[in-house]
Structure formats: C-alpha cells, structure tokens
Amino acid sequence: MQPISGTPGWWRCRRGSRTGAALLIGAVLLGVTACGGGADAADGSGRNGGKGGEVDTRPSRAELKIAPKDGAKGVDTSGEFEVTVTKGRLTSVEVADSDGKAVDGRITKGGTVWKPSRHLQTSTKYTVDAVAKDADGRRAAEHASFTTLDPKATFIGYFTPEDGSEVGVGMPVSIRFSRGITDPGAVEKGIEVTASPSVPIEGHWFGNDRLDFRPEEYWKPGTKVTLKLALDGVEGRPGVYGKQAKTVKFTIGRSQVSVVDAKSKKMTVERDGKVIKKIPITSGSPSNPTYNGQMVISEKYRVTRMNGETVGFDDEYDIKDVPHAMRLSTSGTFIHGNYWAGQWTFGRQNASHGCVGLFDARGGGDKSTPAAWFFRNSMIGDVVEVKNSKDKKIQPDNGLNGWNMDWDEWKADQ
C-alpha cells in the first residue's frame, strides 16, 4: 500500500493487494465468531450452548442440598453431615476444616449422595462447596459452612509404648481410656496401627476401658510401628467425645526371650535365636508359686520398694531397696535382684512370694551380679516366659500379656 497524494492518513492498494485485504477482513470476522460462541458452542450439540450456538440460560434442574444447613452450630460429629442431589448427579464436593485441611469423602448411590469417610472433629468450622449437573449438563452449585459441637464431657487414651522408643519383640500397643467405652466399634475405627514391614495386626478389648493391638506372633526385629489416634469427635459413650489426634511411632529392637524353668530353677536367655546366658534363679515358693506363661517387661527400676501389703501379703515383707526390678504383671510379679537370700538359694530353692529372683548385691552397685547383667541387657517389651511352675497361666490382661491368648480368640468379637 502507498499513501494517496495530498490526502494524509488515506492509503491506496497496490496491484495484487486486494486479495490480502479480503483475507484480513475474513480473519477478523472469524475471530469474532469464535469468541462469541464460547467453548460449549463448538460441539454443535446444543447442550450448554443452546441451538445454533446460543447460550442456554435456563437454570439447572439439579437440586443440591447440604445438611446441616448453612450457618448451623453444635453439629454432631457423626451421621449428620451429607450432600445430596435430586434430578442430577454430583460432580464435585470439596470440604475443608478451619485450618484448610481437606476432608475425605465418597460419592455413592449413583452419584446422588456424598458423605465424609470418617467422623468430624469437635469445635471445628467446616466449609462445603458442591457442584452437580442435570441431564442436559447444566450446572448447579451450593456453598455452606457449619460448626461442630463443643463437647461437655471428653475422653482420651493413655498409650504405651512411648513415641520414639525402641522396645522388645513382645511389646503390644496398649491404650487405656480415661472413661469406660460403650461404643467400642466407633472408638476402634478412630485408631489405626500399622507396621513396616507390613504384618496383620488385630485389636482386642479388655473390659470397656482398655484396647490392645498385636500381631499373631512376636514382632520381627527392626519393625517400625505407627499408632494413629484420630479420636477427636468420636462419641465413645453417650455425650462423651474423644479429644485426641496424635501419631506415635516406635521401633522393635533385637529379639530377646528369656525362659524361666521353675522346676530346674534356671533361666535361659535367648537373643536373636541364640542362647547367650544361663542364670540360676529362685521363683515362687510352693505356697506362693509364680505364674506360668509369657510375660512382657513393662517397667524397669534400678531400685524400688516392695511392700507385701500392696499385693495382698499383709506385712509379710517390706523391702525398701529391691535392686534391678522389672515388672512382669499388674498384680505385682517382677523379675528382680535379690540380696537377702543366700547365694546358695539360686538354682536350688524356690523361695519367693511369686517373683523371679536373681542373685544381686545390696544397692545394686555391683555390675558383675547376674541381676545387674540381666537388667543391663533387657529392655521394655522383652519377653520372660515361665514354665513348669505349679501355678496357673497368667491372665492376658494382667500386664501386657496378651500373648497368652490364642490368636483366634484374640480376634474374636467381644
């Protein structure tokens, strides 16, 4: 093109440029058409774009409902919250708590119902954004927020072992609840115990306030165990809600199982499948025999007091400085150092009130004694198994001693 002489701002086409001008005008018109129809108009189906590329402005027939209603307060943590749609299908439901953390859930019943995968937490504000489509693809959206109840009564679970600890192969996960539980199923759903490498783990209730978890056999050395307590919002009994959200991790150390033979009065210590020491012992006397069975070390004390009155022996003994004591049962069974019986007793006579005694020095300061060695080489969660005693087998809830229950019985419903 070149300017027309004497006429500023006007141009005339050179020969052959007429076709170029037509293409330019066509391109502009094409651009206008593409922008005006929108993405939904391009399929030519008429849905969302209407006939002939026109936008369908009719409202969606899908009817969304969020329960509880927008602005509700004191909402229960289970069963009350859901999103439903009639005359359509849900395409997305996004739920977040007051910290912005997403709440998992599932769309079911042919796309008409969404429910959270688990209970909600107490005293928490939740926001909900739901979208649905009707049969013609027209969208409907709904937004709501609500706040869950602030419970007047709560419970927590006191757990063992401790977070970050290393324990023996016999250590179960044991949780003692601060209130008696009347809905054990709901509480158990709020607790997860996993292991790496993976192994089947089952829970068992002892009464209404204790829940233990263990595998069928002792843990394998090196196993990493994780306990997740998602109890916040769980209604453990009418009007009583959990207030706990915590993750606990611990590691299984080397394997040590010590077998006490009450008949031969000797203990064989086996570590990782090999015998590392044999120790002469004294167990319960004929009138006060030691329990048989598998017992797990749950506590360790370098020195402790043992008073017969606390375990039903009245004033038969009160020893203020029992050295190297390790608890085996809730009822008072220990394996501990003994300095008051003559050294000749060990390996020859059963003379205790039910405990397993190892020769020791008063005060426990002599590191060369059998009791000092065993204390030094034992950890919480190690197993001490007693056999050939004239007493019965220890009850599985007397200490951390669920190993004395058959696996099928352990898994059975309570």
- Provide the residue ranges of all domains of the chain, joining segments of one domain with +: 63-147, 154-253, 256-404
Which of 34-38, 130-134, 315-319 is predicted most confidently? 130-134
Catalytic residue (choose from 119, 204, 324, 355): 355
Cβ atoms 351, 342 nearer than 8 A: no
- pLDDT bracket for residue 53 (50, 70, 90): low
Within 10 Å of residue 354's Cβ, how many Cβ atoms? 22
Which residue carries 């759903």 as its tokens?
189
Least-confidence region, from 22-26, 108-112, 250-254: 22-26
Q: Where are the alpha helices (DSSP H) in 253-406?
A: 370-376
User: What residues form DSSP beta bridges with 281?
Assistant: none
Report the top-level CATH class of 63-147.
mainly beta
Q: Report strand pairing: 224-230 vs 11-12.
A: unpaired
Is 208 exposed, middle or buried (CB count within 10 Å of its CB: 0-12, 13-18, 19+)? middle
Euclidean distance between CA atoms 123 and 367, whole angstroms: 55
- pLDDT bracket for residue 353 (50, 70, 90): confident
Mean pLDDT of 124-149: 97
Neighbour order of strands in the sheet with 274-280: 274-280, 266-271, 256-261, 383-387, 293-296
Structure-block tokens of residue 132: 């649905």
336 is annotated as an active-site residue: yes
13 is annotated as an active-site residue: no
- Predicted confidence at residue 9, as pLDDT, reads 38
- Predicted confidence at residue 308, as pLDDT, reads 67
Which residue carries 């409202």 as its tokens?
59
Q: Which one, of 219, 227, 297, lies nearest residue 252 by Cα? A: 219
Euclidean distance between CA atoms 82 and 67, whole angstroms: 5
**Topology adopted by domain 256-404:** L,D-transpeptidase catalytic domain-like (2.40.440)
Structure-block tokens of residue 238: 């009418």
Cβ atoms 168, 160 nearer than 8 A: no
**Topology adopted by domain 154-253:** Immunoglobulin-like (2.60.40)
| Amino acid (one-letter) located at 389 | S
Q: Using one digit for the tens of pLDDT, what is the confidence trace for 259-316?
A: 999 999 999 999 999 999 999 999 999 999 999 999 999 999 999 988 767 666 666 6
How many distinct helices (H) and strands (E) make up the chain?
A: 4, 29
15 compared with 171, residue with greater pLDDT: 171
Cβ atoms 273, 375 nearer than 8 A: no
Catalytic residue (choose from 119, 204, 336, 353): 336
3-state secondary structure of 187: helix
Euclidean distance between CA atoms 322 and 315, whole angstroms: 16
Q: Using one digit for the tens of pLDDT, what is the confidence trace for 141-181?
A: 999 999 999 999 999 999 999 999 999 999 999 999 999 99
Does residue 17 surpass a pLDDT of 90?
Answer: no
List, as one string, the DSSP characters of 326-368: EE--TTS-EEEEE-SS-GGGTTT---BSSSEEEE--GGG--TT
Domains 63-147 and 256-404 alike in fold: no
CA atoms within 13 A on the CB side of 342: 4
Structure-block tokens of residue 84: 């439903």
Q: Which one, of 373, 374, 384, 227, lies nearest residue 296 by Cα? A: 384
The per-residue b/e assignment along 2-30, b for 16 or more CB within 10 angstroms, e otherwise, is eeeeeeeeeeeeeeeeeeeeeeeeeeeee
